[in-house]
């Protein structure tokens, strides 16, 4: 639709026309604000917390024990310096692994992630069906935004009257 609108504007003598092709879906998926009736609606991104422990692929797991012990989730996320999620490192991997091993050697690669515009009720149901308590929230490019707890998602659903 927007390519045709851009062409139409050019036929109307607009000389500097751009088409934001990824569109509103992309904007929402980056957890950016909107205006309108749904502006205040709670989303997965809105309830996501930024208290998850993170580490780099080349961190030694022997150095990560304290960080994961302090984490409320029982895992750390392995990210690039730019914040892109590469893997998940569970507490159990630390307990049984070689302390000299690198995080990338024992992480679970490519954990499932969700976009921040996911509706809380729908996401809470998906997590419950799979007996999961958390969802990793990222941008479409995989950059970590936070972790949404099922409990928070369920509370948000209730608040929204869903």
Partner 1 sequence: MATSTALPELRALLAGGAQLVEVLPEREYVEAHLPGAINIPLKQLTAQTAGALDRARAVVVYCWDSL
Asked whether position 84 contacts partner 1 by CB under 8 A, the answer is no
Helix (H) or strand (E) holding 155: helix 150-159
Stretch that binds partner 1, among 5-13, 49-57, 91-99, 118-126 (CB under 8 A): 5-13
Smallest CA-to-CA distance from 52 within 80, 89, 82, 81 is with: 89
**Of 18 and 96, which has the nearer Cβ to partner 1?**
18
CA 27, CA 41: separation in Å to the nearest integer?
15
CB of 26: closest distance to partner 1 in angstroms?
6
Asked whether position 82 contacts partner 1 by CB under 8 A, the answer is no
CA 89, CA 150: separation in Å to the nearest integer?
20
CA 132, CA 67: separation in Å to the nearest integer?
22
CB of 1: closest distance to partner 1 in angstroms?
4
Smallest CA-to-CA distance from 42 within 146, 120, 113, 115 is with: 120
Cα 59 versus chain centre, distance: 22
Restricted to residues 8-47, the positions that interact with partner 1 (CB under 8 A) are: 8-10, 12-28, 30, 32-39
Stretch that binds partner 1, among 6-14, 59-67, 79-87, 105-113 (CB under 8 A): 6-14
**Of 60 and 143, which has the nearer Cβ to partner 1?**
143
In the complex, which residues of this chain contact partner 1 (CB under 8 A)?
A: 1-10, 12-28, 30, 32-39
């Amino acid at each position: 639709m927007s390519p045709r609108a851009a062409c139409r504007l050019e036929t109307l003598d607009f000389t500097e026309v751009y088409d934001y092709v990824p569109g509103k879906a992309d904007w929402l998926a980056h957890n950016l604000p909107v205006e309108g009736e749904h502006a205040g609606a709670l989303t997965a991104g809105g309830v996501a917390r930024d208290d998850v422990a993170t580490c780099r692929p080349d961190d030694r797991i022997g150095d990560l024990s304290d960080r994961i012990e302090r984490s409320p989730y029982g895992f750390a996320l392995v990210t690039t310096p730019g914040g892109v999620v590469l893997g998940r490192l569970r507490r159990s991997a630390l307990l049984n692994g070689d302390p000299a091993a690198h995080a990338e050697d024992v992480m679970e690669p490519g954990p499932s992630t969700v976009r921040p515009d996911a509706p809380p009720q729908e996401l809470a149901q998906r997590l419950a069906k799979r007996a999961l308590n958390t969802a990793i929230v990222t941008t479409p490019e995989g950059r970590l935004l936070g972790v949404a707890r099922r409990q928070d998602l369920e509370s948000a659903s209730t608040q929204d009257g869903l």
